[in-house]
C-alpha cells in the first residue's frame, strides 16, 4: 500500500506504551499505516508519495484540549487583543494604546482572558486610570478571569450603566462616593454580569466570523493542537451560533477536529432545551472532524459553582437537586453523554447524590459522563466517580488563580488542587485542557508547564512535585480522547489511528522547565495533511489568509507573546528572505533590544518567522 505522506528522521514520541518511540511514520487516507524506522516507512513509498525530512525534530501526537470554548472563541478571535505571556503591565498597556489608536468607532478594544496580574513585573492589575489614559475615546473592556471586568469611561457610556442602573442578580456595578459607576464590574458570586456586558459590544459580520474562526484554528495549529472538545458556553446558542463552524466542516476547511457539547442557555428552562436537542441531534452524529458529543458543561444554572477564589465558596441553591435530577434522567434515558462544571467538593457531593439516585433507576451502564475542573474533589468522591464510570477533565485554572487560592485556603490545601495523581491512581479517566478563551490561555504549553512544574504563571509553586513530562503529555493526547469517546481512534501515533501530529520547536522532554512555556509547533499535520509549517517547514505551510477586518488586533499581535530571545533564535533558523534578513545588523539589534521596542509589532517585519 503506497503512502500519501512519509515523515522520516524524527524523534517521535508515540504515547503508545507498546512502541514508545520511532523515527518515521507513513500515512495513507488520513491514518498511520507505518510507525517505526525510516526503512520501514520508506518501504511504503510510491510514485506520488510526499516525503518530509523531520531533521531530528521531536514529534508528538497532535494535542487534544478536553475543554476549550473553540466555537465561541473563533467567532470573536479577530476582535480580541491577547495579553497571554506579556511580561509587564507597561507592555500590555502599550499594546492596548496602539490598538485603541487603530480601532474605528463604534468598535471596542477587548482583552478577554488568558492573563493574570501575577505574570506582570509590576505584579498588579491595570487601574481604571490606566485604561482611560491609554484609550480616552475608544471603548475598552478588560476581563480578568471569572472575577471582574474593567471598563474605561468610553465603554461605560456605550453600555449605558449610570447611577440609576441596578445591580443585576449575582453581580455588582462598583460605584464611587456619589453613586456613579466607576467602570469596575464584580462577579458576586457568578460571572453573568461580566459576560452580559461583553455581549453588548459590536459583533463581526458573518464573513468576518468565518475569517476569525479560521485564524483561531491556525493559531491553535501553530501551538500543536489538532483536536478539541468544545464545552459550549454562555450566549452560544444551538444551532444559530454553530453555523460558521458547521459550514466550515461541510467545506472540509476545519484544521482542528471538534467534538461539541450543547450548553443550556435558559435558567429554569434547561430541561426543555435538552428535550428539544435530543430530537435534533444524536451523540456521535457528524464526522471525525465535527461531531456531537452530548450535553454540558452547563446542565442547570443552579448547579454552577463558579471558581472565583477572591470570593468565599458559593453554596449551591437548595433547589439544585430537584432541577438537576430530571435533566440527568432525560439524558441517561436518551443515552446522551454529559459533562458538568464543578469546582468544589461540596458541590460534587451533592451532584453525585443525584447521579447515584438516577443510576439506581436507570443504570448508566457505561454511558460516558464527567466532571470538569474538580479542583477540591476528595478521595472519597473520586472513588464515587470511578464507581459510576465517570471521568474528570482537569484544566490549568490554578495556573492563573493559584495565588488567590493560597491566600484563601492556604498552601497545604493548594498541594492537592486538583488531586490529579490520586485520580490517576484510582483509575479514573483524566484528560487535560485549558478552559480557554475567557479564563485561561488557550496555549497548551502553559498548561503543560503547570502540570510538570506545579507552578503558576506567576512562578508560585503550588505542588511539591508535578507530573512527569510523559504523563502530562499523555493527558493532553490519549487521555483527552476518552472524553469524546474516541479512545483508540486518536491520541497516539499508532498504526490505524488518525494521523495527527506536531513537530516541535524544542525538545519538550529535555528543555528546562521554563522553556516549556515557549514551545510551539514547526510542523502540524491533521488527517495526514500539513496544516501549519514554520522555520524549515515554512514552505510546506498552507498560505495564511488575510485578517479581516484589517484593524483587527490579530493583524498586529496574533497569538501568544514570545520573548525576544526566542524570536531571535527563530530568526536565525529562518531561511526566507524578508526585510529583516536583508540587513544582517538587524540580528544584533534584535538580540540586544528591549522588549518594549518590539512587543506587539512582529508582524511589521514581514517575515514568516515572526508570524505567531
Domain CATH number, residue 531: 2.30.40.10
Q: Are residue 137 and residue 91 in the same domain, yes or no?
A: yes
Q: Are residue 145 and residue 193 in the same domain, yes or no?
A: yes
Q: What cell does 531 get?
A: 496544516
Q: Are residue 45 and residue 72 in the same domain, yes or no?
A: no
pLDDT in tens, 490-515: 999 999 999 999 999 999 999 999 99
Residue 97: predicted pLDDT = 98
Domain-embedded: residue 263: no
Q: Decide which of 198, 227, 253 is a domain's last residue.
A: 198
Q: Are strands 225-230 and 257-262 parallel, antiparallel or unpaired?
A: parallel
Contact 41, 32 (CB under 8 A): no
Q: What cell does 309 get?
A: 477564589
Q: Which residues pair with 32 in a beta bridge?
A: 27
Q: Are residue 106 and residue 92 in the same domain, yes or no?
A: yes
pLDDT confidence bin for 561, thresholds 50/70/90: confident
Q: Decide which of 145, 176, 198 is a domain's last residue.
A: 198
Print the SS3 string covering 254-302: CCCEEEEEECCCCCCCHHHHHHHHHHHCCCCCECCCEEEEEECCCCCHH
> What whole-number distance in Å separates Cα of residue 502 and Cα of residue 12?
10
Q: Among 73-87, 415-429, 593-607, which is the least confidently predicted range?
A: 593-607
Q: Are residue 181 and residue 100 in the same domain, yes or no?
A: yes
Domain that holds residue 51: 5-62+500-540
420 Cβ neighbours under 8 A, 6+ residues apart: 394, 430, 451, 467, 475
Domain-embedded: residue 484: no
Give which of 240, 303, 299, 292 is closest to 274, Cα–Cα: 299
Domain-embedded: residue 10: yes
Q: What cell does 515 get?
A: 522553556
State the distance between the two ends of the chain, measured CA to CA, in whole angstroms: 37
Q: Are strands 58-61 and 501-504 parallel, antiparallel or unpaired?
A: antiparallel
Domain count, the chain: 3
Residue 567: predicted pLDDT = 54
As a whole-number percent, the residues of the chain with pLDDT over 70 amount to 92
Residue 594: predicted pLDDT = 39
Domain-embedded: residue 550: no
Domain-embedded: residue 374: no
Domain-embedded: residue 506: yes
Residue with cell 501575577: 118
Q: Decide which of 141, 165, 198 is a domain's last residue.
A: 198
- Mapped onto helix, strand or coil, the DSSP state of residue 577 is coil
pLDDT in tens, 266-305: 899 999 999 999 999 999 999 999 999 999 999 999 998 9
- Mapped onto helix, strand or coil, the DSSP state of residue 581 is coil
> What whole-number distance in Å separates Cα of residue 218 and Cα of residue 220?
5
Inter-CA distances, 508 with 137, 518, 528, Å: 45, 10, 23
Mean pLDDT of 197-220: 97
> What whole-number distance in Å separates Cα of residue 476 and Cα of residue 261?
19
For all residues of the chain together, what is the average pLDDT?
92
Q: What is the CATH number of the domain that holds 167?
A: 3.10.310.70
Q: Are residue 118 and residue 158 in the same domain, yes or no?
A: yes
Q: Are residue 588 and residue 516 in the same domain, yes or no?
A: no
Mean pLDDT of 334-349: 98
Domain-embedded: residue 47: yes
Domain-embedded: residue 548: no
Q: Are residue 521 and residue 572 in the same domain, yes or no?
A: no
> What whole-number distance in Å separates Cα of residue 22 and Cα of residue 38?
9
Q: Are residue 42 and residue 75 in the same domain, yes or no?
A: no
CB atoms within 10 A of CB 440: 29
Residue 64: predicted pLDDT = 98
Q: Are residue 38 and residue 94 in the same domain, yes or no?
A: no
Q: Are residue 103 and residue 165 in the same domain, yes or no?
A: yes
- Judged against a pLDDT cut of 90, whether residue 385 lies above it is answered with yes
Q: Are residue 179 and residue 72 in the same domain, yes or no?
A: yes
Residue 608: predicted pLDDT = 35
> What whole-number distance in Å separates Cα of residue 425 and Cα of residue 415?
16
- Mapped onto helix, strand or coil, the DSSP state of residue 341 is strand
Amino acid at each position: 500500500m503506497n503512502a500519501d505522506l512519509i515523515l522520516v528522521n524524527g524523534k517521535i514520541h508515540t504515547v503508545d506504551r507498546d512502541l514508545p518511540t520511532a523515527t518515521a511514520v507513513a500515512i495513507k487516507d488520513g491514518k498511520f499505516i507505518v510507525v517505526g524506522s525510516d526503512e520501514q516507512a520508506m518501504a511504503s513509498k510510491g510514485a506520488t508519495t510526499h516525503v518530509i525530512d523531520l531533521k531530528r525534530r521531536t514529534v508528538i501526537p497532535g494535542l487534544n484540549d478536553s475543554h476549550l470554548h473553540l466555537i465561541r472563541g473563533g467567532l470573536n478571535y479577530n476582535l480580541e487583543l491577547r495579553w497571554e505571556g506579556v511580561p509587564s503591565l507597561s507592555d500590555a498597556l502599550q499594546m492596548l494604546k496602539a490598538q485603541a489608536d487603530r480601532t474605528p468607532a463604534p468598535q471596542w478594544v477587548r482583552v478577554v482572558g488568558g492573563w493574570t496580574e501575577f505574570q506582570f513585573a509590576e505584579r498588579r492589575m491595570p487601574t481604571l486610570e490606566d485604561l482611560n489614559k491609554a484609550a480616552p475615546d475608544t471603548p475598552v473592556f478588560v476581563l480578568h478571569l471569572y472575577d471582574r471586568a474593567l471598563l474605561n469611561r468610553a465603554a461605560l457610556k456605550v453600555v449605558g450603566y449610570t447611577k440609576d442602573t441596578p445591580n443585576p442578580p449575582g453581580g455588582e456595578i462598583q460605584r464611587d462616593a456619589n453613586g456613579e459607576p466607576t467602570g469596575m464590574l464584580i462577579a458576586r458570586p457568578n460571572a453573568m454580569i461580566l459576560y452580559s456586558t461583553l455581549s453588548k459590544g459590536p459583533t463581526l459580520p458573518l464573513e468576518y466570523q468565518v475569517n476569525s474562526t479560521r485564524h483561531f484554528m491556525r493559531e491553535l495549529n501553530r501551538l500543536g493542537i489538532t483536536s478539541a472538545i468544545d464545552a459550549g458556553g454562555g450566549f452560544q446558542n444551538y444551532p444559530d451560533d454553530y453555523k460558521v463552524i458547521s459550514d466550515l466542516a461541510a467545506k472540509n476547511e476545519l484544521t482542528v477536529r471538534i467534538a461539541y457539547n450543547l450548553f443550556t442557555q435558559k435558567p429554569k428552562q434547561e430541561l426543555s432545551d435538552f428535550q428539544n436537542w435530543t430530537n435534533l441531534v444524536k451523540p456521535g452524529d457528524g464526522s471525525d472532524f465535527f461531531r456531537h458529543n452530548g450535553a454540558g458543561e452547563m446542565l442547570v444554572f443552579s448547579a454552577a459553582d463558579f471558581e472565583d477564589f477572591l470570593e468565599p465558596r458559593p453554596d449551591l441553591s437548595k433547589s439544585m437537586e430537584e432541577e438537576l435530577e430530571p435533566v440527568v434522567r432525560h439524558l441517561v434515558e436518551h443515552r446522551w453523554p454529559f459533562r458538568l462544571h464543578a469546582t468544589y467538593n461540596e458541590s460534587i457531593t451533592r451532584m453525585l447524590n443525584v447521579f447515584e439516585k438516577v443510576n439506581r433507576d436507570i443504570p448508566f451502564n457505561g454511558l460516558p459522563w464527567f466532571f470538569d475542573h474538580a479542583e477540591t474533589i476528595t478521595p472519597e468522591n473520586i472513588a464515587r466517580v470511578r464507581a459510576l464510570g465517570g471521568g474528570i477533565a482537569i484544566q490549568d485554572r490554578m495556573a492563573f488563580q493559584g495565588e488567590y487560592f493560597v491566600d484563601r485556603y492556604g498552601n497545604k490545601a493548594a498541594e492537592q488542587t486538583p488531586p490529579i495523581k490520586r485520580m490517576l491512581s484510582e483509575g479514573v479517566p483524566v484528560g487535560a485542557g485549558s478552559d480557554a478563551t475567557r479564563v485561561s490561555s488557550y496555549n497548551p504549553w502553559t498548561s503543560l508547564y503547570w502540570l510538570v512544574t506545579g507552578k503558576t504563571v506567576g512562578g508560585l509553586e503550588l505542588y511539591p512535585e508535578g507530573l512527569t513530562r510523559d504523563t502530562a503529555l499523555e493527558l493532553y493526547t490519549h487521555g483527552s480522547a476518552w472524553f469524546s469517546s474516541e479512545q483508540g481512534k486518536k491520541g497516539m501515533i499508532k498504526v490505524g489511528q488518525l494521523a495527527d501530529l506536531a513537530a516541535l520547536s524544542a525538545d519538550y522532554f529535555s528543555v528546562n522547565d521554563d522553556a516549556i512555556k515557549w514551545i510551539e509547533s514547526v510542523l502540524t499535520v491533521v488527517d495526514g495533511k500539513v496544516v501549519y509549517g514554520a522555520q524549515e517547514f515554512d514552505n510546506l505551510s498552507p498560505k495564511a489568509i488575510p485578517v479581516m477586518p484589517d484593524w483587527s488586533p490579530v493583524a498586529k499581535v496574533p497569538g501568544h507573546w514570545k520573548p525576544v530571545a526566542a524570536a531571535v533564535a527563530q530568526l536565525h533558523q529562518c531561511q526566507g528572505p524578508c526585510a529583516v534578513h536583508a540587513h544582517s545588523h538587524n540580528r544584533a539589534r534584535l538580540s540586544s533590544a528591549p522588549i518594549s521596542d518590539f512587543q506587539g509589532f512582529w508582524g511589521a517585519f514581514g517575515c514568516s518567522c515572526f508570524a505567531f
